[in-house]
């Protein structure tokens, strides 16, 4: 009895102490956190960078010192002396970091920019959202590293166009949540968005459409000319802005389907007898049957020229070449495509049509061309149909089965299944009150519950579920996709992105043992949503 009482008193004492130690509300939650009690006052503190530190990391520390000075109302210094020491530790993995905060000083360790930048994001989230509040860091030891190397977000800037400023705002928020790839969807049936010097009509003609269908009514057209594109200088600016935030841009030129805007610009690249004529930049949503004539050598040169300029512009290792939803009806009727099929000896076999094999040929040729430029390809999971050359990375969107199969075959995979990762899908079951979304086109009050991609559902996604142990190394990571057919304004874009992107962040960064939906929700309520408010970000309020 005495023993039980003692144990109860001891437990009560422990709980009492735990109450005084604040819970960290950092998202994504770090891999390991040991709270120590006590705090470090960081008003006017000094930041001391290791002489071995690279200039990008030193720049990030200087930027952070300025932010902290504004936040706490006292100037922080960067130089010799005590305070927060930044130590280069070459033994650490590229994005890993550790933070030790004591009552008198602190130490941050990383091997380079990725780790130092993420350590700063974590420390920022341990400080108050608003300026003027207490500027103290809780004493603790943190050791952190991401579960996956690829933590991505796809923005469709074709169905609707978003300004450089809006793209940068999204990059700002991505960097807070340690996402490191922006997949930038730049070509579509409904609009071509990237300047290509050799083919000026792509942006003179292909970037503009004569109106847009209204909501889900395929017969309607609002009659308003719509468009826009990014110049190469603007793109260079975005690339640099992203890099300073640890983000690499993966550009997508979607081929050989989803090319109607290019066909409106250069009709000679189309199939014989393609209808309707003349080609127009598409004004409705869906999958256009008007596709590139890949039996024409001129078309292949066009693709290589375009991808060549894209490869020269973007420094990252990957170029996304799309490959999804390419109807092959026109190839069946086109004499040049059929001649190419005969020349290559392609046959219907093993349930794969000769036309599907023609697409394999296009994929392989672009892959080889891009390899000559030092780039690797990513394609949507349709590129698995038929034959796929080694070295391609498969983005699994039609569920996870494509990704599971591809990983089993030895291809690298990025998981982005519609069921969990499509941020254009409705966020709740409330068809009446949620803004019109793609889900509204097919869901009923009975089915919308399953169709919705709620915050909680996305939080429950594990990219490695059902992946056999031996294939797990091929799962590079995951991505959420935001298609923008029904999203025309920055406010709506942000509403669809946030706070779901925070769930993506924990899915992609945290080990399953660290994830906890209740702690995640508390973090959002107590800190992250106010932080989004401070950043001027529109987001969907949490359900009660």
Nearer to ligand ACM by Cβ, of 148 and 380: the residue is: 380
State the minimum distance, in angstroms, from the CB of residue 324 to ligand ACM.
4
Site residues for ligand ACM, window 370-389 (CB under 6 A)?
380
What is the maximum alpha-carbon separation in the chain?
Answer: 93
Enter the tokens of residue 409: 């075959």
State the minimum distance, in angstroms, from the CB of residue 252 to ligand ACM.
10
State the minimum distance, in angstroms, from the CB of residue 377 to ligand ACM.
15
State the minimum distance, in angstroms, from the CB of residue 325 to ligand ACM.
5
Stated as kind and residue range, the H or E segment containing 352 is: none
150 Cβ partners below 8 Å, 6+ apart? Answer: 180, 181, 414, 476, 477, 478, 479, 508
Nearer to ligand ACM by Cβ, of 480 and 510: the residue is: 480
| 3-class secondary structure per residue, 291-322 | CECCCCHHHHHHHHHHHHHHHHHCCCCEEEEE
Spatial distance between the Cα atoms of 417 and 464, rounded to a whole number of angstroms: 12
Residue 495 within binding range of ligand ACM, rule CB under 6 A:
no
**What's the Cα-to-Cα distance from 371 to each of 314, 383, 385, 395, 403, rounded to whole Å?**
14, 17, 21, 19, 23
Q: Are strands 32-41 and 136-144 parallel, antiparallel or unpaired?
A: antiparallel
Spatial distance between the Cα atoms of 284 and 216, rounded to a whole number of angstroms: 9
Angle at 129 between CA 123 and CA 131, to 5 degrees: 105
x/- track of binding to ligand ACM for residues 306-345 (CB under 6 A): ------------------xx--------------------
Nearer to ligand ACM by Cβ, of 105 and 324: the residue is: 324
- Count residues contacting ligand ACM (CB under 6 A)? 4
**What's the Cα-to-Cα distance from 52 to each of 48, 49, 57, 88, rounded to whole Å?**
12, 8, 10, 7
Nearer to ligand ACM by Cβ, of 184 and 397: the residue is: 397
Nearer to ligand ACM by Cβ, of 280 and 324: the residue is: 324
State the minimum distance, in angstroms, from the CB of residue 397 to ligand ACM.
4
User: 97, 184, 397, 520: which one contacts ligand ACM (CB under 6 A)?
Assistant: 397
Whether residue 3 contacts residue 485, with contact meaning beta carbons closer than 8 Å, is answered with no
**What's the Cα-to-Cα distance from 11 to each of 20, 24, 34, rounded to whole Å?**
15, 22, 19
State the minimum distance, in angstroms, from the CB of residue 482 to ligand ACM.
11
Closest residue to ligand ACM, based on beta-carbon distance = 324
State the minimum distance, in angstroms, from the CB of residue 341 to ligand ACM.
25
Site residues for ligand ACM, window 475-494 (CB under 6 A)?
none
Nearer to ligand ACM by Cβ, of 354 and 384: the residue is: 384
Listing DSSP states for 398-462 in one string gives SSSHHHHHHHHTT-EEEE--HHHHBTTS-SSS-TTTSPP-GGGGT--TTTHHHH---HHHHHT--
Site residues for ligand ACM, window 405-444 (CB under 6 A)?
none
Nearer to ligand ACM by Cβ, of 99 and 392: the residue is: 392
Nearer to ligand ACM by Cβ, of 331 and 397: the residue is: 397
Whether residue 292 contacts residue 259, with contact meaning beta carbons closer than 8 Å, is answered with yes
State the minimum distance, in angstroms, from the CB of residue 531 to ligand ACM.
30
Nearer to ligand ACM by Cβ, of 106 and 383: the residue is: 383
Spatial distance between the Cα atoms of 34 and 190, rounded to a whole number of angstroms: 52
Give the orientation angle of helix 354-372 with respect to helix 335-344, to 10 degrees: 80
Nearer to ligand ACM by Cβ, of 175 and 481: the residue is: 481
Residues of this chain that bind ligand ACM (CB under 6 A): 324-325, 380, 397
């Amino acid at each position: 009895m005495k023993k039980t009482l003692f144990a109860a008193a001891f437990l009560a004492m422990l709980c009492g102490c735990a109450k005084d130690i604040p819970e960290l509300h950092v998202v994504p939650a770090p891999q390991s956190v040991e709270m120590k009690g006590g705090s470090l006052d960081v008003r006017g503190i000094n930041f001391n960078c290791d002489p071995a530190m690279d200039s990008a990391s030193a720049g990030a520390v200087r930027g952070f010192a300025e932010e902290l000075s504004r936040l706490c109302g006292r100037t922080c210094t960067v130089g010799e002396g005590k305070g927060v020491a930044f130590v280069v530790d070459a033994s650490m993995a590229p994005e890993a970091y550790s933070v030790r905060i004591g009552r008198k000083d602190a130490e941050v360790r990383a091997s380079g920019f990725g780790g130092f930048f993420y350590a700063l994001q974590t420390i920022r989230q341990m400080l108050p959202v608003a300026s003027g509040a207490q500027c103290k860091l809780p004493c603790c030891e943190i050791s952190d590293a991401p579960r996956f190397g690829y933590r991505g977000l796809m923005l469709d800037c074709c169905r609707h166009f978003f300004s450089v400023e809006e793209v940068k705002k999204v990059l700002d928020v991505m960097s807070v949540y340690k996402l490191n790839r922006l997949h930038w969807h730049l070509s579509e049936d409904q609009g071509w968005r990237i300047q290509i010097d050799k083919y000026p009509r792509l942006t003179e003609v292909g970037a503009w459409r004569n109106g847009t269908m209204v909501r889900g009514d395929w017969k309607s057209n609002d009659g308003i000319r719509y468009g826009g594109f990014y110049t190469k200088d603007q793109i260079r600016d975005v690339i640099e802005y992203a890099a300073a935030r640890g983000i690499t841009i993966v550009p997508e030129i979607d081929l050989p389907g989803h090319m109607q805007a290019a066909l409106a610009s250069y009709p000679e690249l189309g199939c014989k007898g393609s209808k309707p004529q003349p080609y127009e930049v598409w004004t409705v949503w869906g999958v256009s049957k008007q596709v590139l004539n890949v039996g024409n050598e001129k078309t292949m040169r066009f693709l290589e020229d375009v991808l060549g300029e894209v490869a020269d512009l973007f420094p990252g290792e990957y170029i996304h070449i799309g490959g999804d939803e390419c109807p092959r009806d026109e190839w069946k009727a086109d004499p040049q495509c059929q001649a190419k099929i005969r020349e290559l000896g392609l046959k219907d076999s093993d349930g794969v049509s000769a036309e599907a094999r023609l697409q394999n040929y296009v994929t392989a040729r672009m892959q080889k061309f891009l390899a000559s430029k030092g780039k690797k390809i990513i394609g949507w999971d349709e590129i698995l149909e038929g034959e796929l050359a080694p070295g391609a990375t498969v983005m699994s969107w039609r569920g996870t089965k494509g990704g599971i199969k591809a990983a089993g075959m030895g291809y690298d995979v990025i998981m982005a299944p519609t069921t969990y990762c499509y941020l254009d899908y409705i966020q709740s079951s409330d068809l009446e009150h949620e803004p019109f979304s793609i889900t509204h086109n097919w869901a009923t009050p009975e089915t919308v519950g399953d169709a919705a991609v709620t915050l909680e559902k996305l939080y429950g996604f594990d990219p490695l579920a059902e992946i056999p142990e031996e294939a797990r190394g091929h799962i590079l990571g995951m991505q959420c996709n935001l298609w923008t057919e029904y999203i025309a304004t920055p406010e709506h874009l942000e509403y669809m992105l946030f706070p779901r992107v925070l769930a993506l962040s924990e899915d992609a960064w945290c080990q399953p043992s660290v994830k906890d939906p209740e702690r995640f929700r508390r973090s959002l309520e107590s800190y992250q949503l106010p932080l989004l408010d401070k950043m001027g970000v529109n987001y969907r309020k949490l359900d009660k």
